[in-house]
Amino acid sequence: MDCEDVRTYLLDDHRGQLAPELAREVRAHVERCAACAHDDAAEHALSELLERRLPQHPAPLALKRRLAAQWPAPGAARAPWWPRWRRAVAPALAAALVLAVAAPWLTGRLPASGRGDGAQALVAEAVNDHLRVLLSEHPLEVESGGIHQVKPWFAGRLDFAPVVPFGGDVEFPLKGGAVGWFVDRKAAVLVYQRRLHPISLFVFRADGLPWPARGGERIGGVDAYRQTARGFTVVLWRTGDLGYALVSDLDPKELATFASKLVG
The number of residues that bind Zn ion (CB under 5 A) is 3
C-beta neighbour count of 176 within 10 angstroms: 21
Q: Is 98 in the site for Zn ion (CB under 5 A)?
A: no
Q: Could you say which of 1, 3, 98, 213 contacts Zn ion (CB under 5 A)?
A: 3
Q: Could you give the angle at the alpha carbon of 194 between the alpha carbons of 129 and 140, nearest 5°?
A: 45
Beta carbon nearer to Zn ion, 35 or 102: 35
Q: How far apart are CA 34 and CA 164, in angstroms?
A: 46
Which residues share a beta bridge with 197?
Answer: 194
Site for Zn ion in 17-46 (CB under 5 A): 33, 36
Closest CA to 117 of 249, 224, 209: 209
Furthest-apart CA pair in the chain: how many Å? 59
- Give the pairing type, strands 197-205 and 232-239: unpaired
Q: Is 190 in the site for Zn ion (CB under 5 A)?
A: no
Beta carbon nearer to Zn ion, 33 or 68: 33
Beta carbon nearer to Zn ion, 36 or 190: 36
Phi, psi of 150 (to 5 degrees): -75, -45
Q: Three-state SS for 227? A: strand
Q: Is 61 in the site for Zn ion (CB under 5 A)?
A: no
Beta carbon nearer to Zn ion, 13 or 141: 13
- What would the x/- binding string for Zn ion be over residues 210 to 229, using CB under 5 A? --------------------
Output the smallest distance, CB 41 to Zn ion, in A.
13
Q: Could you give the angle at the alpha carbon of 79 between the alpha carbons of 153 and 47, nearest 5°?
A: 95
Output the smallest distance, CB 9 to Zn ion, in A.
11
Output the smallest distance, CB 82 to Zn ion, in A.
21
Output the smallest distance, CB 137 to Zn ion, in A.
17
Output the smallest distance, CB 16 to Zn ion, in A.
21
Over the range 224-248, which residues count as b (16 or more CB within 10 Å of their CB) and which as e?
bbbbebbebbbbbbbbeebbbbbbb
Beta carbon nearer to Zn ion, 3 or 92: 3
Beta carbon nearer to Zn ion, 5 or 117: 5
Binding site for Zn ion (CB under 5 A): 3, 33, 36
